[in-house]
Structure 1
Amino acid sequence: MNVVQLVCAVALGLAAVSPAVASEEIIKKARCVACHAVDQKRVGPAYKDVAAKYKGQGDAVAVLSAKIRSGGTGNWGQIPMPPHPADKISDADLKAAVEWILKL
């Protein structure tokens, strides 16, 4: 493998990792980790539990995005989730974060 091929292979590998890392960083920046974790329940459900609940639902990204935007209670217990308006997390970041969660 020559240097050009090696550089291209590394770049493609990094590109494949970047969306997941970026989405996880979005979640941290939006402070979702204050109440949620990937594989354990905290104040709110684990992301893996959310992914399992919505697996196979074609409208899952839209449904979860709307729930996150408006907040609420009753889906995972009686502890309310506060609303997360666009000034806290942009529409694009919210979509990327939800898509990342659903892939867990």
Structure 2
Amino acid sequence: MRSLILTATVLAAASGSAHALDAAAAIELAKANGCYSCHANQEKVVGPAYASVAAKYKDDKDAAASLAQSIQNGSKGKWGRIPMPAHPGMSAADIKTLAQWVLTIQ
């Protein structure tokens, strides 16, 4: 339920001018789903920094869809030998929100 509320907040913010709320809600969503256990905004932890991911995909028009697929199904080999686990229990809306948010990190 909490993630649905956060997603609704992010989507509402994205349609208005409250960009800071959008980022804050996405950060809470990432925290609630354990994303910060392996990632940080600027530094490599277990997985790459979100800023590195955004930089890698900056010219890819399908970046959000590719990231969403990696979040849902996991991935391996994209960033080294340590695989990213799948997150099949996350809603499609939450996955889309996180993928779009990661692409905004600089």
The TM-score bracket by the shorter chain reads 0.7 to 0.9
Amino acid at match of 2:91: S
SS of 1:97 mapped into structure 2: helix
Asked whether 1:50 is paired with 2:24, we answer no
Structure 2 residue ranges without an equivalent (≥5)? 1-15
Report the Cα distance in structure 2 between the residues aligned to 1:44 and 1:37, rounded to whole angstroms: 8
**RMSD, aligned α-carbons:** 1.4
Structure 1 residue ranges without an equivalent (≥5)? 1-11
Identity of aligned pairs, percent? 47
Count how many residue pairs are aligned between Structure 1 and Structure 2.
90
2:86 is aligned to: 83
Report the Cα distance in structure 2 between the residues aligned to 1:90 and 1:42, rounded to whole angstroms: 25
State the 1:96 CA deviation: 1.1
Report the Cα distance in structure 2 between the residues aligned to 1:68 and 1:38, rounded to whole angstroms: 16
1:6 is aligned to: none
Asked whether 1:60 is paired with 2:63, we answer yes
Amino acid at match of 1:103: T
After the TM superposition, list the runs of 4 or more consecutive aligned residues in structure 1 that deviate by more than 6 angstroms.
none
Report the Cα distance in structure 1 between the residues aligned to 2:25 and 2:68, rounded to whole angstroms: 18
Question: Structure 1 length normalisation: TM-score?
Answer: 0.81
Report the Cα distance in structure 1 between the residues aligned to 2:51 and 2:19, rounded to whole angstroms: 21
